[in-house]
Chains A and B, each alone.
Chain A
Amino acid sequence: MIFYIVRRLLQLIPVFLVMSIVVFMFLHLVPGDPVDAILGNEATEEAKASLRARLGLDQPLIVQYFMWAGRVLTGDLGNSIVNGGSVLDTILQKAGVTIFLAIGSVLLSVIIAVIGGTIASANKGTWIDLSVLGAALVGVSIPSFWLAILLMMTFAVNWQLLPSIGYTAPAEDFTEFVRHLILPVVTLGAIMAGALSRLTRSEMIDQLSQDYIVTARAKGLSKFEIVYKHALRNALIPIVTFAGLELGTVLGSAIVIERIFSLPGLGQLIVESIFLRDYPMVQGTILFLSLIFVLINLLVDISYTLLDPEIRLGGEQRND
Chain B
Amino acid sequence: MTDQNVNVSGRLVVGRFRSARFISGRMASNKMLMVGGVIVAVFTLMAIFAPWIAPYDPLELHIKDRFSPPSASFWLGTDNLGRDILSRLIFGSRISFQVGAIAVSIAIAGGVLIGAVAGFVGGIIDDILMRIADALLAFPPLLLALGLVASIGPGLWTVSLAIGVVYIPRVARVMRGSVLVERKRDYVVAARVLGQSPWKILLFHIGPSTISPIIVVATIIFALAIIIEAALSFLGVGLVPPTPSWGIDLDVARHYLHRSIWMPLFPGIAISLAVLGLNLLGDGLRDYLDPRSYSTNAANTGS
Contact = CB atoms under 8 A, between A and B. Distances in A.
Contacts of A256: 142, 231, 234-235
B264 A157 contact: no
Interface of B: 131-132, 134-136, 138-144, 146-148, 150-153, 227, 230-231, 234-237, 250, 253-254, 257-258, 261, 264-265, 267-268, 271-272, 275-276, 279, 301-302
B152 A141 contact: no
Contacts of B250: 145-146, 149
Contacts of B261: 153
A149 B264 contact: yes
Given A14-B134, A142-B268, A271-B236, 17 more contacts: A15-B131, A15-B135, A23-B147, A26-B147, A143-B230, A143-B231, A146-B250, A149-B253, A149-B254, A252-B142, A252-B143, A270-B143, A270-B146, A286-B147, A290-B138, A293-B138, A294-B138
A269 to B, nearest CB: 12
- Interface range, A side: 35 or more
Contacts of B147: 22-23, 26, 282-283, 286
18 contacts: A14-B132, A14-B134, A18-B135, A18-B136, A22-B135, A25-B151, A29-B148, A30-B153, A143-B268, A143-B272, A150-B264, A252-B141, A252-B142, A256-B231, A271-B146, A274-B237, A279-B150, A283-B147
Main secondary structure of the interface of A (DSSP, over half): helix
Contact of A19 (B135, B142, B265, B271): B135
Contact of A274 (B138, B141, B146): B146
Contact of B235 (A14, A138, A271): A271
A17 interface: yes
Interface of A: 14-19, 22-23, 25-31, 137-138, 140-143, 145-146, 149-150, 152-153, 157, 164, 248-249, 251-253, 255-256, 259-260, 270-271, 274-275, 279, 282-283, 286, 289-290, 293-294, 297, 317-318
B144 to A, nearest CB: 7
A255 B143 contact: yes
A252 B138 CA distance: 12
A22 B139 contact: yes
B231 A18 contact: no
Among B131, B150, B275, B279, chain A packs the most CB atoms within 10 A around the CB of B150
Given A149-B264, A271-B236, A286-B146, A27 B139 contact: no
A144 B138 CA distance: 21
A17 B142 CA distance: 20
A17 B135 contact: yes
